[in-house]
Every structure is written in structure tokens, then in C-alpha cells.
């Protein structure tokens, strides 16, 4: 890699002037855990050039259980280099002197590490004839610790100003931090659950959008921690609380024109938009292994929960897997886009977004027609009625989604068999740990009566 010595020196001097003492190099593993290594700011030039060493198991064979995955091809023998991406350098404003950046992993011979999806996605997007814009809508809960345990930070109602007031200090701190981190908020509101909040982030090109999401997660958790709170992006933290999702907004552009728009269609959708929808819905069963990748994800994806449970699409339909949001009347041409709903914050953003894009683009390539639009709540129809319309129920647990991924050649062909095989092993390890666990519910309901 070639480095601009003058630029590196300038960046190092800027960091020292801002009181930065340490720089974190972050990566997100295939279980969506944000990990990293830290170096002193005095070593900035050296570490940018040389990177930092990582055990080869860390990206795909070290699980969210903090245990090595049985059967992985990677072992304690072997290392990769974590190379910082200088363009992602940002302050970590909730700390007293840390900066951070996103890193990519490379083999000793300089080739991208085969289970790190960021370099693959970056290269793919750079060579794409379209410009893709991705906007994330992360939802999360704020909890507080009490003598009774962990409870929601407040008891606000959906969209209520009470929720805005009670979290004003947190919001102010987060807003200021994101401003320093060059991450733009489009809007914010208290969500349906007590202590639950939603932010809409500005749409960026895919890699930058994924980078911003990682840094947003870091900022939310860091600021909450400083305030003595717990921020959780868990999809379904309790059976008594609404789930937290991560809606993904997507549009395709060419030569400055939104190619999803058409003035000849009653929904203002172009042929490409319909085919993109068709491609995503065709591969949605396997796609869920990436966008809803934990056992907990599927406790959110239930009918009539506003999270979506069926492979359908519809204008302004919050029960559809793909919603066409109502665009501003005077900006329809620029604003028309798709919202993918069955996703949550436990996803690996480069892997999930890349998979969503290639499924949609495959639909355009093959001119895949979607089913008829869903203009009602599909959960209120009989199974026979849904089947007639092509609105199938998608996987109801992680195991079924992984089985669908195993069968889907599209994602294997794009990401490579090594990444897909290691990903399935990693997630099956999680499934097995969950499936063999005897829960309190089982003991409560079964222990004394059998």
C-alpha cells in the first residue's frame, strides 16, 4: 500500500492537538461483535502503514459466546494484519482522549482475508455501474439498574414528548458526538417500547453506511455507559417489550438519476425497482440468515408485530418485508426507495448489506417479477389466501434460515464457500448452545407436572 507521508504526519499532529492519546482500530466479526486493538497516538504513522496483528480465529471462529467454534478451519495457529482505513478516522467523543477507525484484515501475502466481507463489498461497489445508497434506522432500548434489577429508563408512550424530555441529556450528548464523528441524523423519536428509541441515519454508499452504523453503535453504548445506563440493541429484550429492528433503506442511482422511480406507475416504481424487489423476495429465506442472524431475532419477526413475517411487499405497509415509504409530494422522483424490514442490529453490516444488494441486482439481471403488492395485513389472511398471492412465511428460527442459506448458490458464489461455510458453523454453534439450554419457562411449566 502507498501512503502519503505528509498526510500521515498532518493527521498525527491534528490528533495530538485535540488531546488524543490512543487510537482504536475497530473491526466487526461475523457474529457482529465490535472488537479492536488500540495503539498510542505517537505510533500513528507506523501503525497506519504496518497495521496490527490479529489471531486468525478472531473474525469468524471466535463467537459471541467468546468461545472457539468447533469444526472451524481456523485455529490458534495463524495471524492476519488488521489494516486501518485512514478515511474512517474519527474522534470517540465519549472518551477522554481516544480516536477510532475501521480496519480491514489481510493475509501475510497482502491478499484480503477471505472471511472479512468489508474488502469484498468495497471492491464490488467500486466496480458497480450503479450508485447504491443505504440508510439505516437503528432502534435500541435504554435501561437503568435498580435494586429490582434492570428496568427501562422511562415509561414513555410512542412518539411522546415525555420520552423526548426524559432522554434530552442523552440525546444532546449523542447528537454532539455524532456531529464530531461526521455522522448525520435525519430524525429521531421515542419508539413504541418504554425506554426505546429510533434514529434514522443519513443514507451513504454501502461501505460508508456500514462504517457509520458501527460507530453509531459505539457512540450510543459509550454515552449510555458514561451516564450509568445500559443501551441495548438486542432484537427482543423481553417477551413483554416490542422488538428493536434495523430497517434498511435502499435506492439505486445512475448518472444522478434515481432508477427506482417511474412516473408511469401508480406506485412510482420503475421496472428495475420491481425486479429488485423480486430478487430480494426470491432469496429472502437465505437472506434472513444474514439480516436476522441470532436466535433472538426470530422472537421479533412474528405476524402482526409491525416487524414483518411474510415475503411480500407493499406501499406504506409496515407488515410487509419490503415497504415503499410514502415520499414527499414535491420530491417523489428523488425520494422513492425501498425499505427492507426483517433486519436487526445483530447483523454484520457489510455482509448483510452486500447480500441484500446482490439479491436485488440478481433480480434486475433476471427480471424477476415480485408477487402482487400487499395492501393489507397478511397476518389476518388464511394460509391458503396468502399462498395464492405468493406471500410465503419466511424462516421462523435461525436453524431454518441457515438451512436455506446452505442451499442458496447466489450468496456462496459471491462471498465464496469459505466465508459461507465458516459463517454457518459459527451460527450453528450459537443455535446448538441455545437449543440445548433448558429455560426457566420449561422448568416452571414442566418440572412438577411430569
The residue-averaged pLDDT of 7-14 equals 89
CA atoms of 225 and 227, how far apart (whole Å): 5
The residue-averaged pLDDT of 189-195 equals 89
The residue-averaged pLDDT of 113-130 equals 98
For the stretch 344-370, pLDDT in tens is 999 999 999 999 999 999 999 999 999
Domain boundaries, the chain: 5-115, 124-416
First to last CA, the chain: 66
pLDDT at 443: 96
pLDDT at 3: 73
Does residue 382 surpass a pLDDT of 70? yes
Quickly state the pLDDT bin for 5 (edges 50, 70, 90): confident
CA atoms of 311 and 280, how far apart (whole Å): 9
The region of weakest confidence among 1-15, 69-83, 162-176 is 1-15
Strands (E) located in 120-184: 131-146, 149-152
Q: How many CA atoms lie within 13 A of 339 on its CB side?
A: 24
For the stretch 201-259, pLDDT in tens is 999 999 999 999 999 999 999 999 999 999 999 999 999 999 999 999 999 999 999 99
Does residue 7 surpass a pLDDT of 90? no
pLDDT at 251: 98
Reported CATH class of domain 5-115? alpha beta
pLDDT at 2: 66
Q: 51 — alpha (psi -120 to 50), left (phi > 0) or beta?
A: left
Note the CATH architecture for domain 124-416: 2-Layer Sandwich (3.30)
The region of weakest confidence among 23-32, 84-93, 154-163 is 154-163
Strands (E) located in 59-130: 79-84, 90-91, 98-106
Residue with cell 440468515: 289
For the whole model, what pTM was predicted?
Answer: 0.96
Helix crossing, 206-226 with 349-366: angle to 10°? Answer: 150
For the stretch 50-62, pLDDT in tens is 999 999 999 999 9
Quickly state the pLDDT bin for 1 (edges 50, 70, 90): low
If you ran DSSP here, which 8-state letter would residue 63 be given? -
Does residue 190 surpass a pLDDT of 90? no
- Mean pLDDT score across all residues of the chain: 96
pLDDT at 102: 98
The residue-averaged pLDDT of 164-181 equals 95
For the stretch 320-339, pLDDT in tens is 999 999 999 889 999 999 99
The region of weakest confidence among 30-34, 304-308, 419-423 is 304-308
Q: 180-212 b/e with 16+ CB inside 10 Å = b?
A: ebebeeeeeebbbbbbbbbbbbebbbbbbbbbb
Amino acid at each position: 500500500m502507498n501512503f502519503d507521508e505528509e498526510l500521515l504526519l498532518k493527521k498525527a499532529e491534528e490528533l495530538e492537538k485535540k488531546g488524543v492519546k490512543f487510537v482504536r482500530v475497530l473491526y466487526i466479526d461475523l457474529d457482529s461483535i465490535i472488537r479492536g486493538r488500540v495503539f498510542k497516538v505517537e505510533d500513528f504513522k507506523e501503525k497506519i502503514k504496518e497495521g496490527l496483528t490479529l489471531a486468525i480465529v478472531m473474525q469468524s471462529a471466535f463467537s459471541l459466546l467468546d468461545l472457539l467454534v468447533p469444526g472451524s478451519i481456523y485455529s490458534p495457529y495463524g495471524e492476519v494484519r488488521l489494516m486501518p482505513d485512514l478515511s474512517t478516522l474519527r474522534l470517540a467523543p465519549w472518551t477522554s482522549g481516544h480516536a477510532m477507525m475501521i480496519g480491514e484484515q489481510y493475509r501475510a501475502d497482502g491478499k484480503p482475508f477471505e472471511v472479512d466481507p468489508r474488502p469484498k463489498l468495497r471492491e464490488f461497489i467500486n466496480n458497480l455501474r450503479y450508485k447504491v445508497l443505504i440508510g439505516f434506522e437503528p432502534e435500541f432500548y435504554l435501561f437503568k439498574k435498580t435494586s429490582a434489577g434492570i428496568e427501562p429508563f422511562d415509561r414513555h408512550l410512542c412518539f411522546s414528548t415525555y420520552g423526548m424530555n426524559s432522554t434530552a441529556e442523552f440525546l444532546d450528548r449523542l447528537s454532539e458526538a455524532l456531529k464530531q464523528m461526521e455522522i448525520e441524523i435525519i430524525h429521531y423519536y421515542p419508539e413504541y417500547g418504554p425506554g426505546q428509541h429510533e434514529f434514522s441515519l443519513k443514507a451513504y454508499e454501502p461501505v460508508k453506511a456500514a462504517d457509520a452504523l458501527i460507530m453509531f453503535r459505539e457512540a450510543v453504548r459509550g454515552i449510555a455507559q458514561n451516564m450509568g445506563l445500559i443501551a441495548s440493541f438486542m432484537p427482543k429484550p423481553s417477551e413483554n417489550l416490542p422488538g428493536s429492528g434495523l430497517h434498511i433503506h435502499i435506492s439505486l442511482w445512475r448518472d444522478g438519476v434515481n432508477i427506482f422511480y417511474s412516473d408511469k406507475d401508480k406506485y412510482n416504481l420503475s421496472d428495475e425497482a420491481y425486479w429488485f424487489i423480486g430478487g430480494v423476495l426470491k432469496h429472502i429465506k437465505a437472506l434472513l440468515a444474514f439480516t436476522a442472524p441470532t436466535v433472538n431475532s426470530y422472537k421479533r419477526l412474528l405476524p402482526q408485530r409491525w416487524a414483518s413475517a411474510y415475503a411480500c411487499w407493499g406501499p406504506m405497509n409496515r407488515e410487509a418485508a419490503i415497504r415503499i415509504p410514502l415520499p414527499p409530494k414535491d420530491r417523489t422522483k428523488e425520494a422513492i426507495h425501498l425499505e427492507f424490514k426483517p433486519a436487526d442490529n445483530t447483523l454484520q453490516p457489510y455482509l448483510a448489506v452486500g447480500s441484500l444488494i446482490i439479491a436485488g441486482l440478481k433480480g434486475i439481471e433476471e427480471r424477476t417479477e415480485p408477487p402482487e403488492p400487499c395492501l393489507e395485513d397478511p397476518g389476518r389472511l388464511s394460509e391458503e389466501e396468502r399462498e395464492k398471492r405468493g406471500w410465503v412465511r419466511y424462516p421462523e428460527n435461525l436453524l431454518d434460515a441457515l438451512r436455506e442459506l446452505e442451499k442458496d448458490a447466489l450468496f456462496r458464489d459471491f462471498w465464496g464457500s469459505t466465508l459461507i461455510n465458516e459463517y454457518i458453523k459459527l451460527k450453528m454453534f450459537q443455535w446448538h448452545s441455545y437449543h440445548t439450554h433448558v429455560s426457566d419457562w420449561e422448568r416452571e411449566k414442566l418440572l412438577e407436572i411430569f
